[in-house]
């Protein structure tokens, strides 16, 4: 079974990736730094969840592009 993520995380990640598609990569640490620059997220846990989901989206995109 996979991890179930809250709708808030999915919606925010999709919005950020849609607005800034070239700013994010498959590296979690870089994505965390980019989120801090782009948006003000109230908690570190929420930031990490969003960065993790963005990382997953980018890895899937990289796999399908090959």
Domain locations in the chain? 13-18+25-65
The angle subtended at Cα 20 by Cα 16 and Cα 26, nearest 5°, is 85
What is the chain's alpha carbon radius of gyration, rounded to the nearest angstrom?
11
pLDDT in tens, 7-60: 999 999 999 999 998 999 999 999 999 999 999 999 999 999 999 999 999 999
Q: What is the pTM of this model?
A: 0.89
The CA-to-CA distance between both ends of the chain, in Å, stands at 26
The answer to whether the beta carbons of residues 25 and 59 sit under 8 Å apart is no
Q: What is the pLDDT of residue 65?
A: 80
pLDDT at 4: 82
């Amino acid at each position: 079974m996979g991890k179930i993520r809250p709708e808030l995380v999915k919606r925010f990640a999709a919005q950020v990736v849609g607005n800034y598609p070239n700013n994010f990569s498959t590296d979690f640490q870089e994505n965390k730094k980019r989120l801090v620059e782009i948006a003000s997220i109230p908690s570190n846990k929420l930031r990490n969840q969003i960065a993790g989901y963005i990382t997953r989206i980018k890895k899937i995109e990289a796999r399908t592009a090959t």
